[in-house]
Amino acid sequence: MAIISRTEDLEILLTVIDCGSFSAAARILDIQVAKVSRSVGRLEKELDSTLLNRTTRKLELTEEGRIFTDQVRVGLHQLAEAEENIRTLKGVPAGRLRVDAVTPFILHQLVPLVPGFRERFPHIELELVANENIIDLIERKTDLAIRIGALQDSNLHARFLGRSPLHIVAAPAYLEQFGTPSEPEDLSRHQIVGFVDAPHLNRWPLVNQFQMVATLCSSSGETIRQLCLAGQGLALLSEFMICEDLAEGRLIKVLDGHITTPNNRELVHAVYYRNTALSSRITSFLDYISPRLKLM
């Protein structure tokens, strides 16, 4: 029996369904919306069936579309596994590996390891994608994500990578000008650099937990680090992004004995979906970075 559907069209269709719109799928796939529309239209013409009901507000799968795409997912997954098995038999991991993490983790932990990893695995096409918020791995076509803090998604496999202690830090110039706090109560008299739209990150895990009122905010941990280096205040940052700053004296720890440790915000995991086989690309990447990360 001849298969009339093209693999690229099928992958585009699944992306449309996962993203909820043609425009969102085009953005994720980095292609024109017109190409997305043509692919879906071509599938519907070849199958002589309407797969999607289109309204001005949303897209909905028809019954035929639901049955078709459920089986397409399984089929494409099996095809990917078959290709992966061939690569494994050859002993050479190859293909794209998209890894998601927050910007500071990419910059301070992964980027230094990239040259060695690429030399060891030259056939893996590594993509490092920075997102400050937790993403949907399927929607973003992402193979692996590095998550900082407690895990909540039970549909994910997780591999523990280590712990990264939290530290309250400031630049020497700031402490010279405003003094060094000796008790948590002193923090109310200091400039606090915190996270915008993430109040849970401004609850510092002190012995008596404090909800800090930030006087300067950013959505990016790396920006907060840079503001601290510029002498703009105190911040609570993870060791994975400031270990070199501490070692070279660019940032100073304060109130270190007052932070509750261990705590859930120190945890670092790599996660991937349970319904996908652990490919040789993911295994190679995790086995390479795990002993080289600057974690506890």
Q: Is the peptide bond before 205 cis (omega within 30 degrees of 0)?
A: no
| Segments forming the whole domain that contains residue 155 | 92-162+266-292
| pLDDT interval class at 73 (50, 70, 90) | confident
- The type of residue at 271 is V
Tell me which residue has tokens 């070199």: 244
Between 7-19 and 22-29, two packed helices, what is the crossing angle to 10 degrees?
120
Residues 13 and 83 in one domain: yes
Residue 1 lies in a domain: no
| CATH code at position 279 | 3.40.190.10
Q: Are residues 188 and 250 in the same domain?
A: yes
Task: Identify the domain boundary among 41, 73, 88.
Answer: 88
% of the chain beyond a pLDDT of 90: 47
Same domain, 38 and 154: no
How far is 166 from 178, CA to CA, in rounded Å? 22
Co-location of 153 and 171 in the same domain: no
Cα distance between residue 285 and residue 88, in whole Å: 14
Cα first-last separation, the chain: 56
The CATH number for 35's domain is 1.10.10.10
Rg (CA), the chain: 23
pLDDT tier for residue 19 given thresholds of 50, 70 and 90:
confident
Q: Are residues 238 and 285 in the same domain?
A: no
Give the model's pLDDT for residue 72: 85
Does residue 172 sit in the same domain as residue 247?
yes
Q: Say whether both 18 and 145 belong to one domain.
A: no
Given a cut of 60, is residue 275 above it in pLDDT? no
Q: What is the pTM of this model?
A: 0.75
Given a cut of 60, whether residue 122 has pLDDT beyond it is: yes
Residue 204 has pLDDT above 80, yes or no: yes
Name the percent of the chain lying above pLDDT 70. 92
